[in-house]
A and B are shown apart, each in its own frame.
Chain A
């Protein structure tokens, strides 16, 4: 246990690590304020993977690591669409996933928004259309905002969420 506390003191608080980009801090501050104003301090995201290569998911998972720690800004990934304000849609909308995506969207209570994450859902990734793909997502569902990248980095996702918050 002593070892553990030693390590903790040595590591310090990573999220406040000065060598780590100031830029992120500004984004974080703005996000926090915006979430507070528009979503009473808590914005719930439901992540739906409609056929991604898993890199977009990995970057969303990275948002929870100590460098970014999205939750302390009031943004949560929730376990059910029924708890969500926003659907964060990644992946290329495969034939097999499309009915499930639409079902999940139905389950989100109003008011609700959809943000597409990564180049896949809007058919900008290198994948070509086949019989097994139903993308672009905008043909099936109303999209409020798009975060581009293949995959977008955690920083770009945070920036994208901020743009979304400004937009609505």
Chain B
């Protein structure tokens, strides 16, 4: 019984996308650019050569926020989307009817359709793969060259993530929507 979250030292991110590939290989995610549980966003730098704005070219690694108040869960007609015992937002593919409501409701574009099962899929915090085997890191965290991610139990005051959140400033994405994300961006 834990409350899992993830802190991202996003300034470390070099947009290498190792996390994206590791996630696909670990979790057997379907091939195809649209089929991703995790992504890294970047922008074209503002300005004209040679006066380009470096600050505008930051990289933002992201994935399902595992919202405490998850709109995707609220809108699911069959409760296929649920909070598991570790507060991880999961999809039960046996119950998912593919009404796609959650895909529209998620403010983060974290969900996609797995064409093999014709159900909605998303980041599981590796719950049914790595965590199920007793591992303590997610595939995306573990593989990252610059160690952007720290995954852990927010309820455990001794965890690394709790320590990070106590000691470093951080923000969440679209926090004004009241979703209470459990992904924290360290500044």
Whether chains A and B associate is no
